[in-house]
Structure 1
Amino acid sequence: MFKKIAIGLAAALLLLLGVIATRPNTFTLSRTATVPGTPDIAFALVNDFHRWGEWSPWDKLDPNMKRVYGGAESGTGATYAWAGNSEAGEGRMTIEESKANESVRIKLEFLKPFAATNLTTFTFKPAQDGVEVTWSMSGDNNFISKAFSLFFDMDSMVGKDFEKGLASMQTAATAEVAKRAEAEAARKQAEAKAAAEAAAAAAAAAPAVAVPTP
């Protein structure tokens, strides 16, 4: 009896291993949203790791998370490392390529709770109501991730975080658009005031014109 059970379990295990082995060797997932403003606004939020706190869906997972910035201030060569609780994990990001207002390619390295290296890409395209931002991630599926995919939909799980992050990016971009509009209005007001003061000063400095008497 025991022998039959053992044989059955071994057969089931082999079947499971076979199913896992047939899972895709790579994965790709992406989400797209329209972000208000010109492309440079959304681009700046991604291209500078110091600004990820304004929209990243993972930035607030651990209020005590340690962050280390390195390399370039922003753009190609900039790095960001984090270490937090079990939910935030530990990892590192490096901007490998940055094309102004067009795209940002990032090497994403997870260290904890599991090790993995993925490629993350952001693209920015002008749209009718702002800029179309597409956030994509791709990588290799090792045996563990293949097994994980049998029970959990990675596209759905990570995709929700992407959607949340893009929604926060929309909020941050909206605030930046309003800030720029206020600055532009203040600039125009200052220019108008300066022009009025200059005109008044010129009028005051102009010689008086004598009016002939009859």
Structure 2
Amino acid sequence: MKVLKFIGLGLLAIVVLAVIYAAFQPKEGQTERSIVIERSPEAIYPVITTMKSFNEWSPWFTIDPETKYTYEGPESGVGAKMAWESDHPEVGAGSQWIIEADENKSVTLQLDFGFAGEYYSDMFLKPVENGTEVTWTYRYKDLDLMGAFFASAMDAEGMVGDQYVTGLKQLKEYVESQPMPKPEVEEEMMESDSTAMEEEMAEGE
């Protein structure tokens, strides 16, 4: 009985210490990483606003190939939603959906991990000399004690930051592997030439 009582007191002390620790942890935070992709914002935007394209570059996709994915809402843009379910601790279960989209400039997703608090992910596209600077952010706020404890214990800045670096590298590889889109000027010239040819053929008849 004394041993059980000692164990019980020990567990209680651990819980109390965890609560005290969590009480002093920040209830909000933000992590961000950036990369330059040698493509225009117009080439990147459709990829990051289509949920079914997410696993083409997601840093979590290869961690557990058995993860189950479901999709809801439109194919892309505001309202597009993806949910996942995995037994792997690094993947877990949750969902994300697009709540804001500014064409060729930015996209904002809200995330649900089953914890209290608000979680968001943003991607910003900024044209630069040799392509587009893509900045991926993860931010959270209004965490409860449990959420604050896990955010600190999991080292959101370090762990999420590393995953975002991997994801951005894979996004770069994926986007740059796609065929280069034809410049609008070239397309307009081709359309003009085609129209002129049709007019000449019509006149010849």
Judge same fold: TM > 0.5, yes or no.
yes
Counterpart in the other structure of 1:154: 156
Counterpart in the other structure of 2:137: 136
Counterpart in the other structure of 2:119: 118
> Which consecutive segments of 4 or more residues in structure 1 shift more than 6 A?
8-13
Report matched runs for 1:7-86 at 5 Å. 17-86=19-88
Deviation per residue, 1:62-93 (Å, 9 max, x gap): 22222221111100111111222233222111
| Matched AA of 1:94 | W
Counterpart in the other structure of 1:102: 105
Deviation per residue, 1:36-84 (Å, 9 max, x gap): 2000122111100111121111122222222221111100111111222
State the secondary structure of the residue aligned to 2:113.
strand
**How far apart are residue 147 of structure 1 and its match?**
2.6
TM-score (ref. length: structure 2) = 0.75
Farther-moved stretch of structure 1 (145-154 vs 93-102): 145-154
Identity %: 26
**How far apart are residue 16 of structure 1 and its match?**
5.5
TM-score (ref. length: structure 1) = 0.72
C-alpha distance in structure 2 between counterparts of 1:15 and 1:58, whole Å: 32
Q: Rg: which structure is higher?
A: 1
1:144–1:175 distance in 2 versus 1, CA, 3 Å: same
C-alpha distance in structure 2 between counterparts of 1:61 and 1:134, whole Å: 23
Q: Does the 8 Å CA contact 2:51/2:76 hold for their aligned counterparts?
A: yes
State the secondary structure of the residue aligned to 2:135.
strand
Q: Does the 8 Å CA contact 1:40/1:101 hold for their aligned counterparts?
A: yes
**How far apart are residue 170 of structure 1 and its match?**
0.6
Gaps of 5+ in 1: 206-214
C-alpha distance in structure 2 between counterparts of 1:133 and 1:150, whole Å: 26
CA RMSD of aligned residues (A): 3.2
Q: Does the 8 Å CA contact 1:79/1:95 hold for their aligned counterparts?
A: yes
1:105–1:152 distance in 2 versus 1, CA, 3 Å: closer
C-alpha distance in structure 2 between counterparts of 1:65 and 1:12, whole Å: 34
| Matched AA of 1:169 | L
Matched, 1:180 2:180: yes
**How far apart are residue 154 of structure 1 and its match?**
1.6
C-alpha distance in structure 2 between counterparts of 1:149 and 1:108, whole Å: 14
Count of aligned pairs:
184
